[in-house]
Structure 1
C-alpha cells in the first residue's frame, strides 16, 4: 500500500500528534508499505529522519512543504500548499490513500488534491482547535472554526478520532463517517523504575526521598490550564505535612510565566526517550488539568511509569483513570474541586505509595502500540475499498482545481 501522510507536525516536534504519527508510520513501514511524508519541516527528501524514535528507522520519502512561522509559538511552522514535487511524483505513482493529520492550508490543499484525483482521504481529528481560541482572545472565531472543521472532515472518506466520547460528540455535531482509533504507549520505554533508581535520580537533582514531587509534562501554553496547575500546587505546598516540589517538563509560550510563578520548580525543558521516561517515574503524582485535549498521550505515559494521575474527566483521563486506584478524575464542571482532590490524593498516596504505583502501571499494561498501529492501517485499507465500491464523491468544499 502506498500512503501519503500530510501533517504540519512530525518528529522532531515534541507533542502527542507528532509521537502518534511516528508510531503509526513505524507500523506502516513494518507492514511493508510505502510512505510519502509531507510536512513543513526542512528535512532531506528521501531518507529516514535522523534521530527518529523508531527501533529500526527505515527509508521513506519526505517532501518539505513551503512554510511560515506561527506567531507566538517559537519553532512552529505552518504549511501552505501541497508541494509541486509531491504532485509530480504522485502523477507518476499516485498514493492508494492520503492521511491528513492537520486541517490547515496544507491539509486543505491535500484534501482537494485527493478528492479531485479519486484518491481516498482519511482525516485525523487530533486537536480541539476550536477550544484553543478562547485562550488567545479569539473566541469570536469559534463558530467559524467549528463550521470549517466540520466541512473539512465531512469531505473526507472517513475521519479517525482517539476516544469513543470524542466520536460521539462529533456525531452529535453532524460530522459523518467518524471512527475511533485509540492510542498506545511504548511499554518498553515507560515502565516503573525501582525505588533505588528513583532515589538516585532525585539525589542527582537535589530532591530528598521524603519530598512529594508533583509533576507536569506537556506544552507550556495557555490552553493547558496551567493557571489551575500553579494555584493547586501552591496551595498543596502550603498545606501538605511534608515538603512538596514541582517538576516541570516541556516548553512553550507560557514558559516565562510558569517559571516566574514557580521559582522553586525543577524545570527540565523538553525531554524524550529514557530521560523523559525516568522523569515520569520519579514523580509521585502527575497533575494534568488541561480541558482542551483530544486525547493527551501524557496520561498513559505517566500511568505506565507507575505515577498516579489527577486530571479532568475528558479525553484519555475519562477512559483510563479509576479514582481511588490509579489517580483521580474530576468532572469538567467541578473545577473548583481540583485543588481539594489533589490534596486528598497526595495524602492517600503518601500513606501507601507502592500500592498506588503498582495499580497505576497495571492499569495501562494492555495499551501497546502494535494493536493500535494495526487498527490505523485497517482503516486506511477500508477507506480504499469504500472508494472502489462507491466511486469518487464530490464536495463543493474542495471543488477548486489545483
Structure 2
C-alpha cells in the first residue's frame, strides 16, 4: 500500500513527534508498505517566530502536485502546521478522505507562551483543522475523552511504542542519585518545577530550546548536556536514577517510556500523560509535590520498570495506525496491499 504522511515536524528537529513518525515509517516499510513523507525538508521555509529551530514551509502550492504525483492509497496529516493545512485544503476540495493526529496540547502550549490567547481559541483551531478528518488519532484513552469533550469528532486511540533494541538496561544503576530531564527547553515544559527542587545528587538536562541560555544562567549547578539521540541518549537514560517529567501539558511523553525501558523510574505530576504511561508505585511516582515524587521514585524496582516498558513495541503501534486509516475513497484500510488510486 502507498501511504503518504504530511508533517511540519521532521529532522533535524528532536521531539516526540519526530521520534514517533520515524519509528512508524520504519515499521510500515518493514511491513512492505511504500511510505512517502512530505516535510519542510521538501519545501522552502522560514524560521518560526520565537522558535527558530522549527521551519515553516511557505511554497505551499507545491503540496497538491506532490500528493498527486505519489498517488497514495491513504494520507495521514500528522501536524496542524502550514503543510498540514495545505494538504487538508487540497484533499477536502476533492472530497478525499484522510486521517490526522493530535500530538500536542496545542491550546495549552500557545496559552503558556502567549497568555493573552485564551484556551478557547486554541480548541477552536483544533476543531477547525480536524473537522474534515475521518480519524483523529491520539495517544491514550484519556486524551480521546478530553478532546471529545472539547468538541473534536471521530477521535481514536493510536498508542505509541518504544525501541527495545536501543532502549534497554545497561549495567548497574548509578550509586549516587542522578535526576534527569529529557525534552525541549521551553516554557510549556515547566522546567523550573524540577530545577528549583532541593534534591540530593546531580541534576542533568538533555535537550535544547528557546529557554536554554536563560536556564543555564539561572541554574549554573545543573549539567546541561544539549540534544542527544540514539545510543548516547539511551546511555543517559540508563545512567539516571530517576527521570523527572515536570510538564503539565504533554499529551503523552514518549521519553517516559524510553526511560522505563532503560530501567529508570519516573517522577511526575499526576496529570494526563504520566497518568496514562505510569503505573503508580511500580514504574513511577506521581505527586502534587514533585520533590516528594522524585525521592520516592528512587525506591522503585528498575528491573520491573524495564519489564513493563518492553511490552509496548513500535510494530504493534504501526499495526494499530494502519487499522485506523481510511482509503482516499473513504473505505477503511485492510492491513495489506491495495491498488493505488488516481487522484
2:179 corresponds, among 211, 214, 220, to 214
Distance 2:11 2:263 in 1: 26
Shift of 1:183: 0.4
Provide the C-alpha distance between the structure 1 equivalents of 2:37 and 2:27, rounded to a whole number of angstroms: 14
* Residue in 2 that maps onto 1:280: 237
Give the distance between the partners of 2:36 and 2:279, measured in 1 at CA: 40
Pairing 1:218-257 to 2, within 5 Å after superposition: 218-232=183-197, 235-237=198-200, 244-257=201-214
The question of 1:73 aligning with 2:66 is answered no
TM-fit CA distance, 1:245: 0.7
Pairing partner for 1:306 from 263, 278, 282 = 263
Say if 1:65 and 1:83, in contact at 8 Å, map to a contact too: no
Q: What CA deviation, in whole Å up to 9, does each residue of 1:165-217 have, x standing for no partner? A: 0001111112111100000000111111112xx6xxxxxxxxxx542111111
1:358 corresponding residue in structure 2: 303
User: What SS does structure 1 have at the residue aligned with 2:64?
Assistant: helix
Distance 1:22 1:11, change over 3 A: same
* Aligned-pair Cα RMSD in Å: 2.0
Preserved CA contact (<8 Å) 1:96 1:119 = no
Q: 1:225 to 1:157 in 2, by over 3 A?
A: same
Match of 1:387 in 2: 330
Deviations 1:344-391 (A, max 9, x none): 444xx2xxxxx62112112212011111011112212xx1287149xx
SS of residue matched to 2:202: strand
Measure the CA separation in 1 of the matches of 2:285 and 2:90.
45
> How far apart, CA to CA, are the structure 2 residues paired with 1:267 and 1:89?
41
Q: Distance in 2 between matches of 1:156 and 1:310?
A: 36
Compute the TM-score of the two structures, normalised by the length of structure 2: 0.91
Tell me if structure 2 keeps the 8 A contact 1:222–1:254.
yes
Separation in 1 of the partners of 2:35 and 2:297?
45
Structure number with greater CO (CA < 8 Å, separation at least 6) is 2
TM-score (norm: length of structure 1) = 0.78
Aligned to 1:7: 7
Aligned mates of 2:231, 2:161 — CA distance in 1 = 17
Which deviates more from structure 2 when the two are superposed, residues 135-144 or residues 2-11? 135-144
Alignment of 1:68-147 (within 5 A): 68-80=46-58, 82-84=60-62, 86-91=63-68, 94-147=71-124
Tell me the distance in 1 between the aligned counterparts of 2:258 and 2:240. Answer: 12
| Displacement of 1:89 | 4.7
- What SS class does the counterpart of residue 268 from structure 1 fall into? strand
- Tell me, yes or no, if the aligned pair for 1:303 and 1:309 is still in contact at 8 Å: yes
Aligned-pair distance for 1:141? 4.2
Report deviation, 1:83.
4.6
Q: Which deviates more from structure 2 when the two are superposed, residues 295-304 or residues 24-33?
A: 24-33
Matched, 1:339 2:291: yes
Shift of the 328–93 alpha-carbon distance from structure 1 to 2, 3 Å rule, reads closer
Which one has a bigger Cα radius of gyration?
A: 1
5+ residue gaps, structure 2:
333-343
Matched residue count: 332
Q: Give the Å deviation of 1:69.
A: 0.6
1:97, distance to aligned residue in structure 2 (A)? 1.8
